Structure 1
Amino acid sequence: MYEKMAEPYKIKMVEPIKLIPKEEREKKIKEVGYNQFGLRSEDIFIDLLTDSGTGSMSDNQWSGLMIGDESYAGSRNYYNLKETIKDLIGYNYFVPTHQGRGAENVIFPLLIKKGQYVLGNMHFDTTKAHIELKGGRAVNLVIDEAYDTAIEHPFKGNFDIAKLEQFIEQNGKESCAFIIITVTCNSAGGQPVSIENIKKVKELADKYELKIIFDSARFAENAYFIKKREKGYEDKSIKEIIKEMFSYGEGLTMSAKKDGIVNMGGMIALKDDEKLFESVRQNVIPIEGFPTYGGLSGRDMEALSRGLREVIEEDYLTCRIGQVEYLGRELEKIGIPIQKPVGGHAVFVDAKKMLPHIPYYEFPAQSLCVELYKEAGIRAVEIGSFLLGRDPDTGEQLESPLELLRLTIPRRVYTNNHMDVIVEAFKNINKRKEQLKGYTFSYEPKVLRHFIAKLKPIE
């Protein structure tokens, strides 16, 4: 085995990118209210906003587009995808959706009664929003180690089992809608959940008669970490680990734009709950579309079916996660504080440590995000108090336990040379970090504000 591993693919097509002058970058970010979501793609040099739908599809996936069956009902691509899900995950029922939030919008109203809690390791923004829009309350019960970026823990996405049971006991099982396990745990820094922890959650779920639903956008990356870090799984295949992992749940939602390696797609899959499946099928029609397409064209379903088979290849996962680890190592070398160990899909910079002079209500990670774009045309995203939002009852700004800047690496898109440019940009910013200022709102939407809010620097 060589010390450096080459990418397990050849580049067949390229898309030009351009670094516009710094004066233009400063003008562009000001025009959009210092919110990177408002920037045009042509104004970005390296785009680390998200890994959702931004990956490069393979020649096999592109060829699958050519055999798209666009029948309104009963598309053969639906049945190809159904067979893939059964083979890979082991679930009997599924409906496609246009993406993960479409899946949540369909199934959450069927599971949540007004005022109920949804118990998660750590909810992401859209999941939390959908829970609250359906009248529920999202509760984070991740282990304490997740909140300390300096601690090395192999499974920082794990539930705190004692806290989970204590919450159920104190509030009563009737007050809890279901348990959601996010793999990998995005808000904690792309951190994995162990099989051992999932088993313990399953024991509690059975004890209190609660369903387990997986938020499974990055399920293959989670399985890879289990193989590499959890005793007893080193000799198991990624496919075997995935099947065991999902065997402890009753269902899943998935934004397939991540580990499905497609530009658009999602799903709801259920193990064997036929009654819930019938309700899902009925609900998907007015919200997403007919149950055999659910917001996707036939060609999209075919690309997804093939992507789900490609994502479990160990060579691919080694390269994919290895690139993220490379960026993390290089940033650490120049003294940038990050969430350790490095997660599966992104490097999370600890902006609270890097910019201690900016308080949480002035959004230190967003300040760093703006500066990164000004410095090198790199677009990243804030995962902190700006994203967390306000208390739905009091309207008070919530303080996130972590103020993170997420450097999200698209799949099969950039080389390590791009990673080196990112490191160089941080090296320059680090020299003047004390000069960075916080931000406040000039326009603040009520729901998922960070997507379209406008900000202004605090003078």
Structure 2
Amino acid sequence: MNDHAIEYPAEPWKIKSVEPIRQTSRPYREQAIRQAGWNPCLLRSEDVYIDLFTDSGTNAMSDRQWAALMTGDEAYAGARSFYVLERAVRTYYGYEHVIPVHQGRGGENIVSRCLIRPGSHIPGNMFFPSTRAHQELNGATFHDVVIDEAHDPSSDHPFKGDVDLAKLAAVIGEYGDAIPYVSLAATVNMAGGQPISMANLAAVRELTGRHGIPIMFDAARAVENAWFVKQREAGWGDRSIAEILLAMCSFTDGAVMSSKKDSFANIGGWIGLRDGELAERARSLALLYEGLHTYGGMAGRDMEAVARGIEESVEESSIRARVGQVEYLGHRLLAAGVPVVRPIGGHCVCIDALAVLPLLPREEFPGQTLAAALYVEGGIRGVERGGLSAGRDPVTGENRYPPMELVRLAIPRRVYTRAHLDMVADCVIRVHEERDRIKRGLRFVHEPSHLRFFQARFVPADGDSIFGG
């Protein structure tokens, strides 16, 4: 097998129910993207053939998860389903205090309100848009302390989610008591789904421990991170995914979980904490923003589905097939010369838009432009991860341009087949081969204040199309 070839893994499941999707014509798609303001997020899902906008809440639940829905206890207070969820989180993630929320973003809001004060500084291994938005809205400044390789799409570093300990030490040295916690993600979304190593987690724990600084964990894709640890890090190859997951979390003081990722659920999340006093404060805020502390914005049936999904997520056959699908698509693109982030990540393949469209200025959003072109070409919906997602500096109001400008193709779990992924690859390869047809980028006609990539609208920077002319 050469460096750009990979076998497609046989799925550890069979199909029991299907949902029709439809292919549309190119003229139809050109009209649809115009009506959506050249923003794939604003397209109707019925106009999308293969939807790789996100792997969050778009997964296929198992028959056992669907069966668990029927056992949901919908009592307002003290529902049995909460204790089922609590037991699953304690068993597989190890956090004593479990507070359900409607999704990860709800947990980010509560943790930020509990811990952040105006003037706070938060170091982390690369920003994520919603996480940083909550931090900034509560008065904090985010500091990126990820290793430099994370910003280099061509680097093959196996753990590009690692923290640069010298960078972290410098932030601690400068801001000290103004740091309420260190924010760590596994895997790092904006770097293309790149993992953090156990050795680095231990080193960060040792450094922060000396200064009494807690670590808060984004655990949404921690199971995928555990898989990479098992495959790539010495000393962990003979450990189970469940064992590695529990060991990862042991280095942290708390976590925010979007159960819409690793746990296969369509909605739901939780906050996991070790500190009882902090947990009480978080429960009080959950009452205000989410719901009672034993349902947190979720129905009982959803808590049952999440609990079952947690158990399924650590099954080795499941995570092997999940990551294998992503690798298959990534290596097909690499073999065709498409510039993508390497190594291939856990949940997505990210196309390097700056390499594909080097002549487009950053202020015309090459990533957004390329995402629109992929939709027009084949009905494929991805999402920009670059200057548009980075937003504006809250102090200067200037656009932030991170080193990488990507189009992320996030693959939902247990949803698409090899034929679908081959169609995606063929579409991306065609666009790359005919990239000279993309003559211009996009400019705003509507720019929201927060998380602008979701609702922004654009027009071509010159003319009525990004193509030709």
The residue number in structure 2 matching 1:388 is: 390
Measured in 2, the distance between the counterparts of 1:118 and 1:84 equals: 30
| Post-superposition CA distance 1:395-443 (Å, at most 9, x none) | 1111111001000000000011111111111222123212312111011
| Post-superposition CA distance 1:267-322 (Å, at most 9, x none) | 10012x11001111111001000000000000000000000000000001110000
Please state if 1:320 is matched with 2:318: no
Measured in 2, the distance between the counterparts of 1:238 and 1:96 equals: 24
For the 8 Å contact 2:112–2:138, the answer to whether it is kept is: yes
Measured in 1, the distance between the counterparts of 2:94 and 2:269 equals: 17
The residue number in structure 1 matching 2:286 is: 284
Question: What TM-score comes out, normalization by structure 2 length?
Answer: 0.96
Which secondary structure does the structure 2 equivalent of 1:279 belong to?
A: helix
The residue number in structure 2 matching 1:80 is: 84
Length, aligned pairs only: 456
The residue number in structure 2 matching 1:266 is: 269
Match among 358, 367, 374 for residue 365 of structure 1? 367
How much has 1:5 moved relative to structure 2?
A: 3.2
The residue number in structure 2 matching 1:180 is: 183
Match among 137, 144, 158 for residue 133 of structure 1? 137
The residue number in structure 1 matching 2:205 is: 202
- CA gap of 1:395–1:4, structure 2 versus 1, over 3 A, is closer
Which secondary structure does the structure 1 equivalent of 2:59 belong to?
A: coil
For the 8 Å contact 1:156–1:191, the answer to whether it is kept is: yes
The residue number in structure 2 matching 1:355 is: 357
Of 77-86 and 426-435, deviating more is: 426-435
The residue number in structure 2 matching 1:311 is: 313
The residue number in structure 1 matching 2:195 is: 192
Identity among equivalent positions (%) equals 47
* Map 1:98-247 → 2, pairs under 5 A: 98-169=102-173, 171-247=174-250
Letter paired with 1:144:
D
The residue number in structure 2 matching 1:450 is: 453
Match among 53, 59, 62 for residue 58 of structure 1? 62
| Post-superposition CA distance 1:171-211 (Å, at most 9, x none) | 23112121011000001110000000001110111111101
Letter paired with 1:98:
H
How much has 1:334 moved relative to structure 2?
A: 1.0
How much has 1:453 moved relative to structure 2?
A: 0.7
Measured in 2, the distance between the counterparts of 1:381 and 1:338 equals: 14
Letter paired with 1:55:
N
Which secondary structure does the structure 2 equivalent of 1:94 belong to?
A: strand
How much has 1:4 moved relative to structure 2?
A: 5.1
Match among 15, 18, 21 for residue 14 of structure 1? 18
For the 8 Å contact 2:198–2:229, the answer to whether it is kept is: yes
Match among 75, 94, 99 for residue 90 of structure 1? 94
* Map 1:398-409 → 2, pairs under 5 A: 398-409=400-411
The residue number in structure 1 matching 2:379 is: 377
Measured in 2, the distance between the counterparts of 1:83 and 1:27 equals: 50
Which secondary structure does the structure 1 equivalent of 2:225 belong to?
A: helix
How much has 1:32 moved relative to structure 2?
A: 1.2
Letter paired with 1:73:
A
| Post-superposition CA distance 1:77-108 (Å, at most 9, x none) | 10011111111111110110000000011121
The residue number in structure 2 matching 1:253 is: 256
Which secondary structure does the structure 1 equivalent of 2:314 belong to?
A: coil
| Post-superposition CA distance 1:312-356 (Å, at most 9, x none) | 000011100000000000001111001100000000111111110
For the 8 Å contact 1:357–1:434, the answer to whether it is kept is: no
Which secondary structure does the structure 2 equivalent of 1:17 belong to?
A: coil
The root-mean-square deviation of aligned C-alpha atoms, in Å, is 1.0
The residue number in structure 2 matching 1:412 is: 414
Measured in 1, the distance between the counterparts of 2:159 and 2:7 equals: 26
The residue number in structure 1 matching 2:466 is: none
Match among 275, 278, 285 for residue 277 of structure 2? 275
Question: What TM-score comes out, normalization by structure 1 length?
Answer: 0.98
For the 8 Å contact 1:80–1:305, the answer to whether it is kept is: yes
For the 8 Å contact 2:121–2:175, the answer to whether it is kept is: no
For the 8 Å contact 1:360–1:400, the answer to whether it is kept is: no
